[in-house]
Amino acid sequence: MSTTLFDLTGKRALITGSSQGIGFALARGLAAAGASIVLNGRTADKLMQAAETLRGEGATVETLAFDATDHDAVRTAIDGFEADTGHIDILVNNAGMQHRTALEDFPADAFERLLQTNIASVFHVGQAVARHMIARGAGKIVNICSVQSALARPGIAPYTATKGAVANLTKGMATDWAKHGLQCNGLAPGYFDTPLNKALVEDPKFTEWLSNRTPAGRWGKVEELVGACIFLSSEASSFVNGTVVYVDGGITASL
């Protein structure tokens, strides 16, 4: 029984922003746990390349290209997929972006892009998928948060604001939708070696700071997020709702 609790066989998982980085790693991990995968992004070519990679590893993969910041496009894509292809049992809201500038110089247009990409997309896709989950009385939503849901660093204040909002929206989703059989939780990565963090990974001074600041003493590997995502996507978390699970090498636990 202990292993079947984490078995995702027969479930279908949609992961937004999943052609690379954390989204792709989570898609690969959920596929290994038995789920069929729906990759999402705005660029069809990148999605097809990612899909072929996963299919080569034995995964069942579909692609669904849409802009997660466009409410009408999201609704049309999700409703069409549910009608034509089948149920989405698991949603991982992963689409996100970063922009690093001192707050006093932060461009207004960059702030708006962060709001749309990091928080509005969670609302748009979450609502569209949840409407179908509610009708079925079951579903799993995992919103990708961040250590910046709880902490701040210089130069990324608007990003921090969006990730704090994702954590609180997750609580709101759980509060509204738990009664319908949905479990809505957050997964908060610490500092991981991803394309989004490329500039920081290549900065020896930052890496030294991170190694000293993080109890684990290193960058995270994207594969280390998979276990927590499987847990939040499976029956093992059937009474877990509105929680943010930090996978951060201890950085939020230590001064």
**Domains of the chain by residue range:** 4-246
22-42: per-residue pLDDT in tens? 999 999 999 999 999 999 999
The answer to whether residue 1 scores a pLDDT higher than 80 is: no
CA distance 123 to 196: 22
pLDDT category at 255 given cuts 50, 70, 90 is confident
Architecture of domain 4-246: 3-Layer(aba) Sandwich (3.40)
pLDDT category at 86 given cuts 50, 70, 90 is very high
Three-class DSSP labels, 101-126: CCHHHCCHHHHHHHHHHHHHHHHHHH
CA distance 150 to 50: 32
Q: What is the pLDDT of residue 182?
A: 98
116-131: per-residue pLDDT in tens? 999 999 999 999 999 9
Query: What does the mean pLDDT of the chain come to?
Result: 97
pLDDT category at 2 given cuts 50, 70, 90 is low
159-193: per-residue pLDDT in tens? 999 999 999 999 999 999 999 999 999 999 999 99
Compute the average pLDDT of residues 94-122.
97
Q: What is the pLDDT of residue 13?
A: 99
Q: Which residue has the higher pLDDT, 252 or 197?
A: 252
pLDDT category at 223 given cuts 50, 70, 90 is very high
Q: What is the pLDDT of residue 197?
A: 87
Contacts of 230 (CB under 8 A, 6+ apart): 6, 8, 29, 30, 33
Cα angle vertex 252, ends 248, 255, to 5°? 130
**Dihedral angle at the C-alpha atoms of 148, 226, 199, 112, nearest 10 degrees?**
-50
The answer to whether residue 113 scores a pLDDT higher than 70 is: yes
Percent of the chain exceeding pLDDT 90 equals 96
Q: Is 159 a catalytic residue?
A: yes
Q: What is the pLDDT of residue 232?
A: 98
Strand (E) or helix (H) holding 39: strand 36-41
Task: Given the residues 24, 66, 123, 159, select the one marked as catalytic.
Answer: 159
The answer to whether the beta carbons of residues 172 and 179 sit under 8 Å apart is no
Percent of the chain exceeding pLDDT 70 equals 99
Cα angle vertex 70, ends 68, 74, to 5°? 60
The answer to whether residue 138 scores a pLDDT higher than 90 is: yes
